[in-house]
Amino acid sequence: MIEKSLTDIHIPVIVGPTGVGKTEISLEVAKAIKGEIVSADSRQIFKGMDIGSAKPTLKQRRRIPHHFVDELPPSMRFSAGEFGNQGRLVISDIIANGRIPIVVGGSGLYVRALMDGFFDGKNWDANLRNELSNRADTEGLEALYQEVIKRDPDAAETITPNDRKRIIRALEIMELTGQQMTKVWREKKTQVPFRGIWCGITMPRQELYKRINLRVLEMIEKGLVKEVEELLMDGVDLSVNAMNSVGYAEVVQYLNGDLHFDEMVELIQQNTRRYAKRQMTWFKSDSRTRWFEREPEETSLSVAERVLEHIRATIAQSTDS
């Protein structure tokens, strides 16, 4: 019997916008094929960021093993490049144990770093970084963000306007290399020893926006404001990327007295819808993805069954060839 190499392994990858139901669908898929979930989410890895990141519950994680969920303190820096390197090791371990890894997430940069490889990102210049930081203070972060849009619009699609660290990092890479950040990503890839079965979950935009609006209200009811208060009391610095993400940044504004409660809720809903739109722009640009449109009343199990059919067909086709 010839042992199957990692290069023959196909990894299910489930992507899509926030609020579409990836978590529940992936749980059904994992249950059916004895899988373990590798979370490609830039916030779920942090402890204490449960409600705002829509983290899988403890009950769900007991049913299906999850990786990169609830592992690091939010004050710790964790990049897409680091996720890619560590994630490939985790995937290899899952396969070695006879299980099937399933990559799930809406952080396009994390998914790409894991499945396509990523430059190591170790090169940086302290003086240049300080200069860019000073510019952000004097000119305003919006000015630097507009510069990223002008110089590398593809990179700008993956960065939120209030993400100070990634805006500065994008400009830093462009200054250091003389190239667009996205071009640097393409040219300095790590070799990835497996292939993805890309499955995208989507739904009609207005239905998705309704789900997003309702989910934000549910997060507020579950205690999102209290969650942010506790993070701040624990000394989490406002400058860390996680605290500048949608949901957390707006609550901080509310706690600082810059927003009324209703304004905070409306702004979280608006920014989450915008984030979902950016996610779709990112994922739709990848021709490898097979899209599954979820009907408004369709159950997670029903969508999962369609996804499973595609996964099994792809594996069968690969085996035959």
Higher pLDDT, 290 or 318: 290
CA distance 92 to 96: 6
- Write out pLDDT tens, residues 156-209: 877 888 888 889 988 888 877 677 777 776 666 667 888 899 999 999 999 999
pLDDT bracket for residue 54 (50, 70, 90): very high
In the predicted model, what is the mean pLDDT of residues 223-241?
91
How much is the pLDDT for 308? 96
The answer, yes or no, to whether residue 122 has pLDDT greater than 70, is no
The pTM of the full predicted model, rounded to 2 decimals, is 0.79
Q: Please tell me the predicted confidence (pLDDT) of residue 223.
A: 97
Indicate the DSSP class of residue 72.
Answer: B
Beta-sheet pairing, 195-202 with 10-15: parallel
pLDDT confidence of residue 85: 85
Which domains are seen in the chain, by residue range?
A: 6-118+192-214+282-320 (3.40.50.300), 126-187 (1.10.20.140)
Percent of the chain clearing pLDDT 90 (strictly above): 62
pLDDT surpassing 50 at residue 6: no
Nearest to 272 by CA among 105, 141, 104, 160: 160
CA-CA-CA-CA torsion for 19, 212, 288, 111, nearest 10 degrees? -60
Sheet with 35-39: list strands edge to edge.
66-67, 35-39, 100-105, 10-15, 195-202, 290-293
pLDDT tens digit sequence for 134-153:
889 988 999 999 999 998 88
CB 259 within 8 Å of CB 168: no
Retrieve residue 169's tokens. Answer: 């990092």
If DSSP codes are grouped into helix, strand and coil, which group holds residue 10?
A: strand
Whether the per-residue pLDDT at 126 is higher than 50: the answer is: yes
Look at residue 1 in the predicted model and tell me its pLDDT.
Answer: 25
> Is the pLDDT higher at 40 or at 244?
40
In this predicted structure, the answer to whether residue 3 has a pLDDT above a threshold of 50 is no
pLDDT in tens, 263-289: 999 999 999 999 999 899 889 988 999
- The mean of the pLDDT values for the chain is 88
Average pLDDT score over residue span 109-116: 87
pLDDT band at 119 (very low <50, low <70, confident <90, very high): low
Residue 9 has pLDDT above 50, yes or no: yes
Residues making up the chain, counted from first to last: 321
* Averaged pLDDT for residues 290-316: 94
- What DSSP assignment string belongs to 83-144? HHHHHHHHHHHHHHTT-EEEEEES-HHHHHHHHH---------HHHHHHHHHHHHHH-HHHH
Beta-carbon contacts of residue 50 (< 8 Å; ≥ 6 apart): 70, 227
Q: Give the pLDDT score at 81.
A: 77
3-state helix, strand, coil in the chain (%, to 5): 55, 10, 35
User: What token pair was written down for 62?
Assistant: 């007991």
Cα distances (Å, whole numbers) of residue 72 to 40, 221, 234, 270, 282 = 14, 25, 14, 29, 27
Question: For the segment 61-109, what is each residue's pLDDT rounded down to a tens digit?
Answer: 999 999 999 999 998 878 777 888 899 999 999 999 999 999 999 988 8
At residue 234, what are phi and psi to the nearest 5 degrees? -80, 0
For 302-317, what is the mean pLDDT? 93
